[in-house]
Amino acid sequence: MNVFRFIFHNHEQVLELTLEHLWLVGISTLFAVLIGLPLGIVIARRPRLNKLILGGANIIQTIPSLALFGFLLPMPWLGQRADRLAILALTLYALLPIIRNTYTGIRGVDPAVVEAGLGMGLTDSQLLLQVQLPLALSVILSGVRVALVISIGLATIAAAIGAGGLGEFIFRGLAMVDDRVILAGAIPAAVLALVADLGVGWIERRLQPR
């Protein structure tokens, strides 16, 4: 097929953009976990903050991605480099599934098990680290999985602000009205999303508490 011939001929560039794409997604998901996990833990223990934090993450999710990239453009240090902007935007989008699943996962731990832990004299942090987080892990991971798949798709739009990634091909293809070029970006992005989905799903099943 034409598309695959095109990809084959340009495989160096496809590879380079794929790696760039992975970098954007990987680093932003990492940030989202580093921020989202503690926030999820906080609202699981202080349900009063629940509406505020989940609401905030929800609102971010509703901002159209192209608009968000545009809004962030005039920011001082961030605006200087497109990849910084892209990483920030992707991090913000990835927050909601991670916060929400951390919250749901911890709240979903059998109350009898939590009470048993308390009754045995576990401190708050022992309860969190030894009981609640391990038992919530598969739910948290499924949030990370959703975040990854969303980010891989969204990151294609980062090319609109010059952050690179597989979106380069898609935008170029759109400008050239050339399906082959569009697909040279879209197909690897779809493959990445599938691999991420299956990979994290596999880890999730391995860690499933019984």
Which residues of the shown chain bind other proteins in the complex (CB under 8 A)?
110, 112-113, 115-123, 126, 130-131, 134-135, 209-210
Q: In whole angstroms, how close is the CB of 4 to other proteins at the nearest point?
A: 46
Closer CB to other proteins, 133 or 187, in the complex = 133
Shortest spacing between CB 76 and other proteins, in angstroms: 46
Cβ(35)–Cβ(87) below 8 Å: no
Q: Which phi and psi angles does 178 have, rounded to 5°?
A: -130, 110
Which lies closer to other proteins via its Cβ, residue 2 or residue 208? Answer: 208
Instruction: Find the shortest distance in angstroms from Cβ 43 to other proteins.
Output: 23
Task: Compute CA distances 60 → 22, 104, 119, whole Å.
Answer: 22, 19, 40
Residue 117 or 153 with smaller CB distance to other proteins: 117
**Closest distance to other proteins from the beta carbon of 139 (Å):** 13
* d(C-alpha 80, C-alpha 67), whole Å: 18
Cβ distance to other proteins smaller for residue 54 or 131? 131
What dihedral angle (degrees, nearest 10) is formed by the CA atoms of 178, 184, 187, 192?
A: -150
Q: 113-124: b or e for each residue (b if 16 or more CB lie within 10 Å)? A: ebeebeeeebee
